[in-house]
Amino acid sequence: MRLRAKLRDQYRETGLVFPIRVLDQGAAAGYLTAYQETAKVAGYGGKAAQMPQVHRYFDWAWELATHSSVLDAVESVIGRNILLWSASVFPKTPFDPGHVTMHQDGTYWGLSGGEVTTAWIALTASTIENGCMRVVPGSHRLEIQPHRDTYGADNLLTRGQVVQAAYDEEDVIDVELRPGQMSLHHVRAIHGSRPNRSAGPRVGFAARYVTPDARPTLPGQTAALVRGHDGPGHWERVAGPPGFGSLQSAIRAHRSEAAEFVKALTAR
């Protein structure tokens, strides 16, 4: 179901809207199991950098990123013509020190122009205790601010980016979600998350969508048209679902190819 006008206006005003129910709890549990099986077989740990571009290799990830309820909500904030640019899993294991420093995605994604939004889908509960996402409302109205790269060992970002803009900590919103709920946040919204202080895992699936007038500025960037039309043709197009013959073959391809995506983001 498309977002009501009130929620659409909230996104435009604050750069954030949540919670949006896109899956029932049973479906969310199914996607969580699919992720866990993939991670176990591949030997992936708790770093999001190990699981970029999952929609290109794993059918369950493509299915989730192109779910009609997700795309309906995305359409409400960026319009009917939608390209799926990337998708990653953000896991935090129990008592995981991994965190995400406050940053703006637009500073390092290599995108120019157009509209860009991230759908963050909770596959487990995402709470203050287990390190839910935190957003500075209204910060999307800022231009891209200076960032400092820390390359912190426990930082889940590719370069440990920290925004250098001042903001009031009291204004920060904790984006708590139940399994199957999601949030949408703007590419310039200042956001991050704290470590998991709980005895249970926190797993989120983040899919990033752009309008066709957005341009890639880094080499090797691709996108899949998932709704509407791609008029300008700025992107190298890919299709889905991935359709690998087995989980093992998908993992082999993911290991060898998806690393290039992370390399492009970290080498700047």
How many CA atoms within 13 Å lie on the side-chain side of 139? 28
Q: What is the pTM of this model?
A: 0.94
89: its two tokens: 């899993």
Torsion of CA 227, 189, 119, 223, to 10 degrees: 40
Q: Could you tell me the CATH number of the domain that includes residue 61?
A: 2.60.120.620
pLDDT of 268 strictly over 60: no
Helix (H, G, I), strand (E, B) or coil at 263: helix
Task: Name the E strands within the chain.
Answer: 16-21, 82-92, 100-103, 111-112, 116-122, 133-135, 147-149, 161-163, 173-175, 181-186, 191-193, 202-210, 215-216, 222-227, 236-237
Looking at per-residue pLDDT, the higher value among 3 and 44 belongs to 44
pLDDT digit string (tens) for 111-162?
Answer: 999 999 999 999 999 999 999 999 999 999 999 999 999 999 898 887 889 9
How many domains, in total, are found in the chain?
1
Asked whether the predicted pLDDT for residue 164 surpasses 80, the reply is: yes
The pLDDT value given to residue 261: 67
| pLDDT tens readout for residues 222-237 | 999 999 999 888 999 9
Q: Which domain holds residue 10?
A: 5-266
